[in-house]
Amino acid sequence: MATKVTEQERKGFESKIAGSNKVEIKITVARNDEARAYESLEIGRRDAVRRDIYFFDSPDLALFKDGVILRARAIENDDHDSVVKLRPVDPESVSDDWKATDGFKLEADAVGDNVVMSASLKVKQKKSAIEKVANGKLDMSELFSKRQKQFLAEFYDGPVEREDIVILGPVKTLRADVERPGMAYKITAEYWTLHDDSHLLEISIKCPPEEAVVAREVFEAFLAGHGLDPNGAQATKTKLALTSLAAQLKQG
C-alpha cells in the first residue's frame, strides 16, 4: 500500500534530487510479486528488447564499492554502447563542460527513500567491438573512449589497474517500455537473468526533476493499485547482478 507523504518528506526528496537533469524512480519487484506484475501490467516478452550487459571490475568488486560502474551493452537492433558511471556525485562539482558533452547524464536514482545522484558518460560502440572483447580478441580498454577515461580520472582518484580488471557477464536481459491507462509516465520493465539461475524484475519511470515529487507519489499509488509493493526489494539490479557475477567468478 502506498503511504501518505508528509510535507517534510517531500522537501527532503526535493533536496536530494536538486541539480539533476532527470530522475529515475524505480523498484526491484519483490519475488512473490513478479507474476502479479507481469499479469497486471501486461508485460510481454514479445514487446521486449534483448540486451547483453557486461561489467568490468576487479573480482572483489573494488570499483563498484567505490561507486564506479564500467559496463558495455550489446542491444538487439540498436546501437551498442559503453558507459562510465559514478555515484554518488555532487552536482555542483560537475562543470558546464561535462554537462554539455554528448552522452553525459546527471541523474537522480530513487529507490524507496534512498536517492543517489549519479553522473555517467555513454558512447556508441561498433557492433563487433563488445563481442571481440568478450572473445579476447580486443582489449577491454578499447571499449572506453579518451573522453570517458578523462571523465573517470577527474571524478575518481582511486586506482584502476588494468591487470586487476576482469570481464563480468554477460547478464542476459529483456527490456520493455509500456504505457498503461492511469499512469502518466511510460513504464520501463527490465528482466535480468543472473548466472546462479536467479532473476529479477525492475520497474521504473523517468521524469524531469520538477515533476519528481508528484511522479513518485503517482507511481507508488499506481503500483499499490495493482497489488504491488511500492517499496519492492530495495536492492538495485546492478548490485544484485554484480554480486551474483562475482560469486560465480570465485567459484570458478
**Is 37 or 120 the better-scoring residue by pLDDT?**
120
pLDDT tens digits, 192-211: 998 777 889 999 999 999 99
Band of residue 5 on the pLDDT scale cut at 50, 70, 90 = low
- The pLDDT of 139-156, averaged and rounded, is 95
Query: Tell me, what's the pLDDT at 180?
Result: 87
Average pLDDT of the residues of the chain: 90
Average pLDDT in the 173-179 region?
Answer: 92
pLDDT value, residue 240: 87
What domains are defined for the chain?
Answer: 7-251 (2.40.320.10)
Residue 53, pLDDT > 80, answer yes
So what's the pLDDT on residue 4? 61
- Indicate if the pLDDT at residue 135 is higher than 70: yes
2 — pLDDT class (breaks 50, 70, 90): very low
| Confidence at residue 215, expressed as pLDDT on a 0 to 100 scale | 93
Express as a percent the part of the chain with pLDDT over 70. 97
Cis bond before residue 88 (omega within 30° of 0): yes
Neighbours of 213 (CB within 10 A): 18
- Assign 3-class secondary structure to 110-144: EECCEEEEEEEEEEEECCCHHHHHHCCCCCHHHHC
**41: nearest Cα among 173, 232, 196, 225:** 225
Residue pair 74/51 in contact (Cβ under 8 Å)? The answer is yes
Model pLDDT for residues 55-103, shown as the tens digit of each residue: 999 999 999 999 999 999 999 989 999 999 999 999 999 999 999 999 9
pLDDT attached to residue 3: 54
Report the predicted TM-score, pTM, of the whole model to 2 decimal places. 0.91
